[in-house]
């Protein structure tokens, strides 16, 4: 049975080992850096004989800025700078690795992260470390954790939705949601139809030249190939728009997104106010936090591994931490068996 233990030099040593463990972690994200800085500050306070400190997001951001650089030394960070659920998930999913590292160095005192979420305006979320003794055998993953690694049996996640930013030229047209049967919707459909109409006109013109002058196949090959290439390119680049009525959610091309927006999706949802219309078009971003490593999960095309479907890929391990994506329930489950 684990029990509380906060005595003497063992806590300082445990913090030092945890700092080393975090520095050796492969994920080099903001969560790891912020928790490392908190551990260093806690270790310094304990070495001075002081109490274990508590820090809110603003304080963590200031310490992070002193250590790694950034604007937060002179600015106040908000809770979005360090999401509490993402921090807790990052810490808890690495418990086995952390305890194995501590046990290998002869330390059986785990460092526990406490996240006290503040409720309401003005109540800050506080981060604090504690200490908990554990048996050496507790560093091994239990059988139920191994079972959770199988597809569909565990590690489910819920997706969040936010508006995505379009490139500056397209922002007046698709920067905000709009009804398909509106003047913006009509303009949007016409803007998609005009390139294909121009391509069709060029194809008819090229065919007329071939029939009128009857040149050799070699002479007519170049314009026909050019028209076919342009038509194929347009069809491929605009495919997310044309397949939207059937799929409801498609991946937005990179060229249509702002430089600060890496991923985005086109969504065609039902308009509850106007049920007889063609729905509402919007440019959004679906995302979540990986329950395995706390990395950012973004929606991508399934590719050859999962053809014909959209999947959620973790930014830290995009090949192994892959999740399904349900655009209606906004949920997903692990797709790859990590035990195989």
3-state secondary structure the chain: CCCECCCHHHHHHHHHHHHHHHHCCCCCCHHHHHHHHHHHHHHHHHHCCCCCCCEEHHHHHHHHHHHHCCHHHCCCCCHHHCCHHHHHHHHHCCHHHHHHHHHHCCCCEEEEEEEECCCCCCCCCEEEEEEEECCHHHHCCCHHHHHHCCCCCCCCEECEEEECCECCCCHHHHCCCEECCCHHHHHHHHHHHHHHHHHHHHHHHHHHHHHHHCCCHHHHHHHHHHHHHHHHHHHHHCHHHHCHHHHCEEECCHHHECCCCCCCEEEEECCCCCCCCCCEEEEEEEEEECCCCCCEEEEEECCCCCCCCEEEEECCCCCCCEEECECCCCEECECCCCCC
Average pLDDT rounded to a whole number, residues 130-153: 59
Q: Which single residue is written with the structure tokens 């503040």?
A: 118
At 39 the pLDDT is 94
pTM above 0.85, yes or no: no
At 2 the pLDDT is 43
The pLDDT tens digits of the residues spanning 93-130 come to: 788 888 888 988 888 899 999 998 766 566 788 999 99
Is residue 299 predicted with pLDDT exceeding 70?
Answer: yes
Instruction: Label residue 135 by pLDDT band (50, 70, 90).
Output: confident
Is residue 131 predicted with pLDDT exceeding 60?
Answer: yes
| Domain extents in the chain | 8-140, 171-332
At 177 the pLDDT is 87
Is residue 38 predicted with pLDDT exceeding 90?
Answer: yes
Is residue 153 predicted with pLDDT exceeding 50?
Answer: no
Is residue 152 predicted with pLDDT exceeding 60?
Answer: no
Instruction: Label residue 20 by pLDDT band (50, 70, 90).
Output: very high
Is residue 147 predicted with pLDDT exceeding 80?
Answer: no
At 143 the pLDDT is 46
Instruction: Label residue 27 by pLDDT band (50, 70, 90).
Output: low
The pLDDT tens digits of the residues spanning 198-236 come to: 777 777 776 776 666 655 656 666 766 777 777 777 777
At 7 the pLDDT is 58
């Amino acid at each position: 049975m684990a029990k509380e233990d906060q005595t003497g030099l063992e806590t300082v040593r445990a913090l030092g080992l945890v700092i080393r463990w975090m520095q050796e972690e492969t994920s080099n994200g903001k969560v790891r850096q912020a928790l490392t800085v908190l551990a260093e500050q806690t270790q310094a306070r304990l070495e001075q004989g002081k109490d274990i400190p508590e820090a809110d997001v603003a304080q963590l951001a200031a310490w992070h800025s002193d250590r790694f650089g950034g604007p937060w030394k002179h600015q106040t960070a908000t809770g979005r700078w360090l999401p509490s659920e993402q921090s807790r998930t990052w810490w808890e999913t690495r418990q086995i690795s952390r305890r194995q590292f501590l046990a290998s160095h002869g330390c059986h005192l785990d460092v526990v992260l406490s996240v006290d979420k503040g409720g309401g305006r003005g109540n800050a979320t506080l981060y604090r470390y504690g200490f908990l003794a554990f048996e050496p055998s507790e560093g091994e993953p239990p059988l139920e954790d191994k079972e959770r690694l199988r597809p569909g049996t565990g590690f489910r996640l819920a997706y969040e939705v936010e508006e995505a930013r379009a490139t500056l030229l397209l922002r007046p047209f698709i920067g905000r949601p709009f009804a398909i049967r509106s003047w913006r919707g009509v303009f949007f459909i016409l803007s998609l139809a005009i390139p294909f109409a121009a391509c069709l006109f060029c194809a008819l013109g090229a065919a007329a030249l071939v029939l009128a002058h009857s040149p050799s196949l070699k002479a007519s090959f170049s314009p026909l190939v050019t028209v076919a290439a342009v038509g194929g390119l347009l069809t491929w680049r605009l495919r997310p728009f044309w397949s939207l009525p059937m799929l409801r959610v498609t991946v937005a091309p990179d060229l249509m997104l702002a430089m600060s927006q890496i991923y985005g999706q086109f969504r065609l949802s039902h308009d509850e106010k106007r049920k007889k219309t063609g729905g509402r078009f919007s440019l959004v971003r679906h995302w979540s936090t990986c329950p395995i490593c706390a990395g950012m999960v973004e929606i991508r095309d399934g590719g050859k591994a999962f053809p014909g479907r959209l999947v959620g890929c973790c930014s830290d391990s995009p090949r192994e931490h892959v999740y399904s994506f349900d655009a209606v329930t906004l949920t997903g489950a692990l797709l790859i068996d990590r035990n195989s």
